[in-house]
């Protein structure tokens, strides 16, 4: 099945906005959870189990165990995969004057991001103990080891890495390392095996998000088509043939209020 990714992401965003104040928080939706993943909500000191479809916001902290992974989605094209042994704070996720600002503090572990192209005035940053990476419409990996050394690898687009007063531009298929208290290294090529694995992971993230959105679309289409009269084959035909139209129609019918 060919899926319009922009429409899929838009559906997820609109779904999230039903529980969030538009114009303030930029909601971040947990699309999938495997293994041990915990959330500490802003202003609390209690860790709770992360649940699929939960909405995260500024100040929330995500922690994964040795088998924990989570995929998050927000905006019309941004997604994140949080790997095992990671600790990430959502430092800022807001929308002001139709412009998005998002910043993630990666204390340790690994964060793989698929970011849309930023509009003028928007920002998407990943901060680590040793450096800050600014996204410019990029698929990239951020990784922090036990020694706080950071590594940034770019699969597509461009990343700006800043540390100790020095800024380095990292382009597709290149990576940099940043030691604590040192400027970024000169970019070098990502090893071929690592590059292939990262590209495969990006495709897996995309597939998970599409699958989640298709489930929502099925529900919406069935509800609109009088479920008592629909056969299983008809449902599959509707989803396969009209996925884009289903999203667009729901947006027209329900405004910013898609039912789940």
Region at 114 (left for phi over 0; alpha for psi -120 to 50; beta for the rest): beta
Q: How confident is the model at residue 154, as a pLDDT?
A: 97
Contacts of 233 (CB under 8 A, 6+ apart): none
**3-class SS shares of the chain: helix, strand, coil, % to 5:** 30, 40, 35
DSSP state of 85: S
Mean pLDDT check: name the lowest of 131-145, 154-168, 216-230: 216-230
Q: How confident is the model at residue 235, as a pLDDT?
A: 46
Q: How far apart are CA 83 and CA 124, in angstroms?
A: 19
76 pLDDT tier (thresholds 50, 70, 90): low
Beta strands in 115-244 (DSSP E): 123-127, 132-135, 139-144, 150-156, 158-163, 166-171, 174-178, 188-189
161: β partners: 133, 168
Task: Pull the structure tokens for residue 165.
Answer: 């007063």
Q: How confident is the model at residue 98, as a pLDDT?
A: 85
Q: How far apart are CA 39 and CA 191, in angstroms?
A: 34
Mean pLDDT check: name the lowest of 42-46, 53-57, 73-77, 236-240: 236-240
Mean pLDDT check: name the lowest of 100-114, 120-134, 246-260: 246-260
Task: Pull the structure tokens for residue 55.
Answer: 């909405």
Q: Say if residues 62 and 82 touch (Cβ distance below 8 Å).
A: yes
Exposed/middle/buried for 97, CB within 10 Å: 0-12, 13-18, 19+? exposed
Q: How confident is the model at residue 75, as a pLDDT?
A: 72
- 199-233 burial: b if 16+ Cβ within 10 Å, else e: eebbeebbebbbebbbebbbebbeeeeeeeeeeee
Average pLDDT over residues 210-231: 61
The single residue listed with the structure tokens 């043939």 is 241
- Please state the φ and ψ torsions of residue 242, each to the nearest 5 degrees: -130, 30
Contacts of 19 (CB under 8 A, 6+ apart): 27, 55
Average pLDDT over residues 166-193: 97
pLDDT, tens digit, 9 for 90 and up, residues 29-67: 999 999 999 999 999 999 999 999 899 999 999 999 999
Q: How confident is the model at residue 219, as a pLDDT?
A: 61
Q: How confident is the model at residue 67, as a pLDDT?
A: 96
């Amino acid at each position: 099945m060919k899926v319009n990714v922009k429409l899929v992401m838009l559906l997820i965003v609109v779904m999230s906005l039903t529980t969030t104040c538009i114009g303030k928080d930029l909601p971040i939706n947990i699309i999938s959870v495997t293994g041990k993943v915990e959330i500490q909500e802003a202003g609390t000191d209690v860790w709770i189990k992360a649940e699929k479809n939960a909405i995260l916001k500024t100040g929330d902290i995500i922690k994964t165990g040795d088998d924990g992974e989570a995929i998050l989605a927000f905006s019309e094209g941004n997604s994140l995969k949080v790997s095992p042994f990671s600790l990430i704070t959502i430092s800022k996720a807001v929308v002001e004057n139709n412009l998005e600002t998002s910043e993630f503090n990666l204390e340790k572990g690994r964060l793989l991001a698929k970011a849309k192209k930023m509009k003028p005035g928007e920002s998407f940053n990943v901060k680590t103990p040793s450096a800050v990476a600014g996204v410019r419409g990029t698929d990239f990996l951020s990784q922090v080891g036990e020694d706080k050394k950071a590594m940034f690898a770019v699969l597509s687009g461009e990343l700006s890495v800043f540390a100790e007063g020095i800024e380095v531009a990292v382009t597709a298929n290149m990576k940099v390392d940043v030691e604590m208290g040192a400027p970024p290294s000169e970019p070098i090529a990502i090893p071929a095996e690592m590059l292939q694995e990262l590209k495969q992971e990006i495709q897996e993230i995309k597939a998970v998000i599409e699958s989640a959105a298709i489930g929502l679309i099925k529900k919406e289409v069935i509800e609109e088509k009088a479920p008592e009269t629909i056969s299983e084959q008809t449902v599959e035909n509707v989803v396969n043939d009209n996925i884009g139209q289903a999203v667009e129609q729901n947006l027209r019918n329900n405004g910013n209020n898609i039912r789940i």
